[in-house]
Amino acid sequence: MSVLGISLIRLLDVISFIIVIQCVLSWIPSIRMSKLYEALSVITDPIEEPIRQVQYRYVSLPIDFSPLIAILLIQLLQRLVYILFW
């Protein structure tokens, strides 16, 4: 596998990890106004907002499944990168 393929897979791993960290931090109300949470939101919102818009258009649930869907899409993208660069 080329260096570019490995780098893309690792970058997608980091993005998935950031999404998980933001989800865990969102359970603590006092942290939601912190600089760390805002910095993580800058990274994850461009990924999750289109998913939220589609999700809320068809289903109105009180639970936000966009992080889970984003991680699943990132995993599919990782597999595609793995297939293309193998």
Q: Residue ranges of the domains in the chain?
A: 3-85
Residue 21 has pLDDT above 80, yes or no: yes
State the pTM of this model: 0.89
- State residue 60's pLDDT score: 82
d(Cα 17, Cα 13) in Å, to the nearest integer? 6
Is residue 1's pLDDT more than 80?
Answer: no
At 63, phi and psi to the nearest 5?
-105, 135
Radius of gyration over every alpha carbon of the chain, rounded to an integer in angstroms? 15
